[in-house]
Amino acid sequence: MQLRGRFGCYATLRSPNDSSLSLIRPAVRRISGICAFLLVVPRICVSDGFFRCGNWLVSAESSVEELLQKCGKPSSQQVSTEDVYAETGYKMGTRTIEILRYDRGTAAPPMIVTIVDGRIESIQRGK
């Protein structure tokens, strides 16, 4: 059965058992599966905070002691101290910032671990 649309377009109504629909359904399933995969993968790849040290996974929630135990001594380390000020301009104290770099060979980018006052603040891929 053909229907005429508003703008002069024709559409053909077919029964659900039509053979052309049986070819479309698997394609729609594949496309929706690919779309779901593409929505999930960037979140996994961008997730800031995990990296592998040998057989171990280290996250931003790990302690510094656990990081050093699992990953060993970093390739390089920078330590700096910054003053901490209140909104009024009053100096409240200082904070120590350590930046550890773990080189993981030629196949993987280095990992940069930022530690503030003895706690891991972030883990990022280096360049």
**Spatial CB neighbours of 78, under 8 Å, sequence gap ≥ 6:** 98, 99
- Can you give the pLDDT at residue 54? 80
What residue segments make up the domains of the chain, in order of their start?
Answer: 9-45, 48-125
61-73 per-position pLDDT tens digit = 889 999 999 888 9
2-18 per-position pLDDT tens digit = 555 555 555 555 555 55
Burial of 73 (0-12, 13-18, 19+ CB in 10 A): exposed
